[in-house]
Amino acid sequence: MFLGKTKYIFCLLVLVCFISGCGSKNLSTVVTTNSEGVPRLVAVLPVDNKTSDVQAAQILRVEILEKLYFKGYPKIPLDIIDEKLSKVYKDTGGMGGKVSPKVIGELLGVDAVMYCTLTEWKTSPIFFYAPTTVSASFELRSARTGETLWKEHHKVVKRNYGFSQKGLKMKSCQVYEMAVQEVVERVMATLPDGPDSA
């Protein structure tokens, strides 16, 4: 009897997932044109992490840097950015979003600054179902004027199914990287190509 109810619940969950769609959600997109044209050098600041997972922010930041490079923007190593901004971060409590783009532009000699906020990075297990959610927002600001050149927010939900909590946990850990890649790919598709794009 219990096994019959369990199968019924599992089938119901699968049906709900199919009805609700693939789980990707693009919440907002703003692309602005400006007199400066497309920036050449973009500094990717440390991610403003609103989640409890410390490694998640670093994974997202590295993925952004790689995608920017493939979009035609020269790669500025993250350790060089962090080293040059270490004094500024000490003065502001370590939050990259609190440092103005003009200050960063003067210190690093860049044209624009990429601010990123990781808002969700979680798995919520329910019986045999565990949705993994990754949500982040991105803003590219001019280092000369401070204006927003491009802004985007995206959310991805990956659905995992399994017959044990341990199995669900393992699947969820494996799917985080795919979810981050999907978020960044969808977001970067709206960013204009860089000056070195083929």
**Residue 56 covered by a domain:** yes
- Tens-digit pLDDT profile for residues 142-194: 999 999 999 999 998 887 766 666 665 666 666 788 889 999 999 999 999 99
- CA–CA gap between residue 135 and residue 153 (Å, rounded): 8
**Residue 95 covered by a domain:** yes
Of 17-26, 35-44, 175-184, where does mean pLDDT reach its minimum?
Answer: 17-26
**Residue 4 covered by a domain:** no
Domain boundaries, position 60: 22-188
* CA-based nearest residue to 188, from 28, 68, 66: 68
- Tens-digit pLDDT profile for residues 94-116: 554 578 899 999 999 999 999 99
In DSSP terms, 139 is beta-bridged to: 115, 151
Q: What is the mean pLDDT of residues 114-140?
A: 86
**Residue 39 covered by a domain:** yes
**Residue 14 covered by a domain:** no
**Residue 13 covered by a domain:** no
**Residue 30 covered by a domain:** yes
**Residue 180 covered by a domain:** yes
- CA–CA gap between residue 105 and residue 143 (Å, rounded): 5
* CA-based nearest residue to 145, from 72, 28, 44, 37: 37
168, with CB counted inside 10 A (0-12, 13-18, 19+), is buried
DSSP 65-110: HHHHHHTTPPP--HHHHHHHHHHHHHHHTT-GGGS-HHHHHHHH--
Residue with tokens 């799917």, as numbered in its chain: 175
**What's the number of domains the chain is made of?**
1
Q: Where are the alpha helices (DSSP H) in the chain?
A: 2-20, 54-70, 78-92, 101-108, 165-188
Backbone angles phi, psi at 34, to 5 degrees: -145, 165
CATH number at residue 84: 3.40.50.10610
